[in-house]
Amino acid sequence: MSDKLVNAQGLLQELFTSENKSTCSAKKVGCVIFHRIENNKFEILSTGWNDSIGPCKCTELFEKQNGTWFYKNNGKGMLECEMNAHKKFSEKYEVHAEMMALTNLNKMNLGNHSLQLEILSTYSSCINCTKHLLYNGISRAFYVHSFDDIVDVKRMYTILETPLIQITKASDINANR
Ligand SMILES: [Zn+2]
Ligand SMILES: [Zn+2]
């Protein structure tokens, strides 16, 4: 098991560090899966950020300016993308932060553990990631910003009786024990 123990501020710091590794031009997204040891003391189990498979990262191919997507054109200026070009690339090649964190968590081979897993994410998870987080036994989820499908995602958490909590500061993670 890792020996990375932090307080709530340390969790938030780890989130920002993960976000900054994101290779998606749409959003910088990171997340941290952790275990609560006691009040304001957490063990970080795994982290993730938006990344992609294949030779090219999103940030090498695309740039978003004022809501419009452009292709990066090898330094020869920028070409505006057709509609949905990034969405199509993303669906095929991009891996969400939560999926990376779950993969890293499963690599740790915690086995038949009884740890209460919690997650802190930049955005509330998309429907697909939410499904996999809940399947993997996440018992509480914290997020900073709401993502597009927050209404459906809230319903999923409610049905599974799992708290989903928006935070504005590190201490909110302590307040919700
Ligand atoms: Zn992207
Ligand atoms: Zn997702």
| Residue 111 φ/ψ region, left for φ over 0, alpha for ψ in the -120 to 50 degree band, beta for the rest | left
Confidence of residue 62 (pLDDT cuts 50, 70, 90): very high
Average confidence (pLDDT) over 146-166:
96
Residue 115: its pLDDT value, please?
Answer: 85
Q: Is the pLDDT of residue 98 over 70?
A: yes
Residue 114: its pLDDT value, please?
Answer: 77
- Tell me what the pLDDT averaged over the chain comes to: 92
**What is the DSSP track for 20-85?**
TT---SS---EEEEEEEEETTEEEEEEEEE-EESSS--HHHHEEEETTEEEEE-TTS-EEEPPTTH
Average confidence (pLDDT) over 51-70:
91
Among 9-13, 24-28, 63-67, whose mean pLDDT is lowest? 63-67
Task: Give distance in angstroms: CA of 89 to centre of ligand 2.
Answer: 15
42-56, pLDDT tens digit by residue?
999 999 999 999 888
Q: Is the pLDDT of residue 112 over 80?
A: no
Confidence of residue 58 (pLDDT cuts 50, 70, 90): very high
% residues pLDDT > 70 (the chain): 94
Q: Is the pLDDT of residue 59 over 70?
A: yes
CATH superfamily of the 5-50+96-175 domain = Cytidine Deaminase, domain 2 (3.40.140.10)
Whole-angstrom distance, CA of residue 94 vs CA of residue 51: 6
Confidence of residue 1 (pLDDT cuts 50, 70, 90): very low
Task: Give distance in angstroms: CA of 45 to centre of ligand 1.
Answer: 26
Task: Give distance in angstroms: CA of 64 to centre of ligand 2.
Answer: 20
Whole-angstrom distance, CA of residue 138 vs CA of residue 102: 10
Which of 39, 37, 48 minimizes the C-alpha distance to 5?
37
User: Distance of alpha carbon 34 from its chain centroid, rounded?
Assistant: 13
Q: Could you report how far apart the first and last alpha carbons of the chain are, in Å?
A: 23
Whole-angstrom distance, CA of residue 72 vs CA of residue 80: 9
Q: What are phi and psi for residue 11, nearest 5 degrees?
A: -65, -45
Which protein residues have their CB within 5 A of the ion that is ligand 2? 96, 126, 129
Token representation of residue 3: 């020996």
Task: Give distance in angstroms: CA of 156 to centre of ligand 2.
Answer: 14
Task: Give the residue range(s) of CATH 3.40.140.10 domains in the chain.
Answer: 5-50+96-175
Task: Give distance in angstroms: CA of 33 to centre of ligand 1.
Answer: 22
